[in-house]
Amino acid sequence: MASREDVALTVERQTAARRLLADPLVTAHTHPEDFALIRAHAEWLVQRFRRVLDYRLTVAAEHARLVKTGLVAAVRRPLVRGSGGYFTPRTYSYLALAVAALLEAPPRIAVTRLAADVRVAAGEAGLGLDPADRAGERRAFAAALRVLADWGAVEEHEGTLSGYGAEGSEAVLDVHHEAVRQVLAHPPGAAADSGGFLAAADAAPAGTRGVELTIRRRLAETAVLYRDDLPAEHRDRLAHHQWRAVAELAALLGCDAEIRAEGVALIMPDDGGSDARGTDRPAAFPSSDPVGQAALLLVGRLVHQLRPAAGPAPEVPVPDDLLRAELDRLAGSDAESGRPWSRAAVSYVPDAADFTGRVLGVLADARLMARETGAASGSGWRLLAAAGRYGPSRTDTVPPDAGRSEPAAEEDR
């Protein structure tokens, strides 16, 4: 039987590992408590991440960087702005230009001065970008700086980046040069084109070892790994070695797992992890924010109304009219809904279309819903197998208009 000291040691290591998986760049400024744990258990973390996932971890005096070499493309996600929208190519360009300018910036710099340096760097790269050109450019530049602040590369000293983005008011930043140098996991190198550079960065071991690493990475980096999403070789490997893969990841991350016929999901402890801005992992689900709560209610109502009476099904198409009606209700269009996430609760959302996109985005990231490729906006959605765990049981209160007199029994997937 493990002693209390051994249990505490294991919990500390796993907490540090989960932080690094969620936020691959951790600094003493962004996460002081977690960074202290990372420093204390650096040797164990370096060895474990290399053995279990073949990720390279570097721990320095003020930062730690987990480089996810060979991270499979299927689990990558775009960076997200504070408004919830994805980064555009223009915003990514500002992010790259800001990193280049910050490498040679003084320890403290005004944002307007940094904007001028970015304009010069853009000119040298043949890009017609200038943060001072108009409000849209300034907001895109501010969004890029906001992500760098979340990562710990810069820190607000005077004023705010939100004020600069909204009104153009001055802000002063402290620059953490060592963290700036770690922003790029794969510094630019010699390559014939962008495709060649990305292919080199994505190189993974070949053979059986490569297959097993890919499976482990997908388990660690996705909310649910469905067997049907894997090629035949990977699906066969998962079937024969899923328990070992889950055990290795559980020892590293302190997570539980659900293994079903349709796939495997890791269940992470609720310890205040990342909100997923600028990370490779989806945000936690369920979450307490209004959009997250709306997503939870939506998937519960859809499962209740669409669950097949004859038994479980891996996927269930969602009728477009039903989805629109439920989304309208959640957005507050139905004045009788009385839900806490009515329009007043999500007043920061610009419009109903944006609210709809964010709710469905949460469910897609959680691998509870998916959309047919090429489907028109608001159509082509289907419930995936894992959504069944959020459906009502016989003891739950049934929504008054759910469409059935009695909820179906909880399915055994």
Whether residue 408 lies inside any domain: the answer is: no
Same domain, 134 and 215: no
pLDDT of residue 20: 95
Residue where a domain terminates, one of 20, 35, 69: 69
Beta-bridge mates of residue 175: 154
- Is residue 21 scored above 80 in pLDDT? yes
Res 397 pLDDT > 70? no
Residue 131 pLDDT greater than 70, yes or no: yes
In a domain, 373, yes or no: yes
Do 172 and 217 fall into the same domain? no
pLDDT recorded at residue 349 = 46
| Predicted pLDDT of residue 190 | 63
**CA 68 – CA 201 distance, rounded (Å):** 10
Least confident of 41-45, 98-102, 217-221, 338-342: 338-342
Region 292-296 average pLDDT: 88
Q: Are both 246 and 176 inside the same structural domain?
A: no
Would 108 be classed as within a structural domain? yes
Q: Quick one: pLDDT band at residue 307, thresholds 50, 70, 90? A: confident
Q: How far is CA 170 from CA 94, 110, 165, 373, in A?
A: 18, 7, 10, 43
**345 has a pLDDT exceeding 60:** no
| Complete edge-to-edge strand list for the sheet that includes strand 369-371 | 315-317, 381-384, 369-371
Whether pLDDT at 269 is above 90:
no
Count of residues making up the chain? 413
Of 73-82, 138-147, 219-228, the one with minimum mean pLDDT is 73-82
Q: What share of the chain has pLDDT > 90, as a percent?
A: 54
pLDDT at 363: 92
Place of tokens 């028109």: 376
Minimum mean pLDDT among 204-208, 209-213, 225-229, 369-373: which range? 204-208
The arithmetic mean of pLDDT across residues 7-11, rounded, is 93
Mean pLDDT of 244-255: 95
pLDDT reading at 336 higher than 90: no
Q: Are 255 and 295 within one domain? A: no
pLDDT of residue 348: 47
Indicate the pLDDT class of residue 60, thresholds 50, 70 and 90.
Answer: very high
Share of the chain above pLDDT 70, in %: 77
* Same domain as 363, residue 334: yes
Do 304 and 263 lie in one domain? The reply is no
State whether 146 and 225 are in the same domain: no
| CB-CB neighbours of 382 under 10 Å | 17
Residue 44 domain-assigned (yes or no): yes
Alpha helices per DSSP H over 30-71: 32-40, 42-53
Task: Please state which of the ranges 25-39, 137-151, 277-291 shows the lowest mean pLDDT.
Answer: 277-291
My answer on whether 295 and 380 are in the same domain is yes
CATH number at residue 109: 1.10.10
Residue-number span of the structural domain to which 96 is assigned: 89-181
Residue 3: the pLDDT is: 75
Cα gap 400→126, rounded to integer Å: 60
Residue 62 CA, distance from chain mean position = 24
Name the band, by pLDDT with cuts 50, 70 and 90, for residue 276.
very low
Clarify whether residues 50 and 134 are in a common domain: no
Q: Residue 196: inside a domain, yes or no?
A: no
* Same-domain status, 40 and 100: no
Selected residue with higher pLDDT from 52 and 81? 52
pLDDT for the residue numbered 395: 45
Answer yes or no: is 155 within a domain.
yes
Angle at 77 (CA atoms; ends 72, 83), nearest 5 degrees: 170
Please check whether residue 331 lies inside any domain of the structure: yes
Confidence (pLDDT) at 187? 67
pLDDT at 184: 85
Same domain for 307 and 375, yes or no, is yes
Whether residue 380 sits in one domain with residue 296: yes
Q: Check whether 346 has a pLDDT greater than 50.
A: no
How many domains does the chain divide into? 4
pLDDT at 337: 45
- Helix ranges, 307-351 (H): 320-331
pLDDT digits (tens, 9 = 90+) for 141-196: 999 999 999 999 999 999 999 999 999 999 999 999 999 999 987 766 666 777 77
From residue 79, alpha-carbon distances to 54, 262, 279, 298 in Å are 24, 29, 7, 25
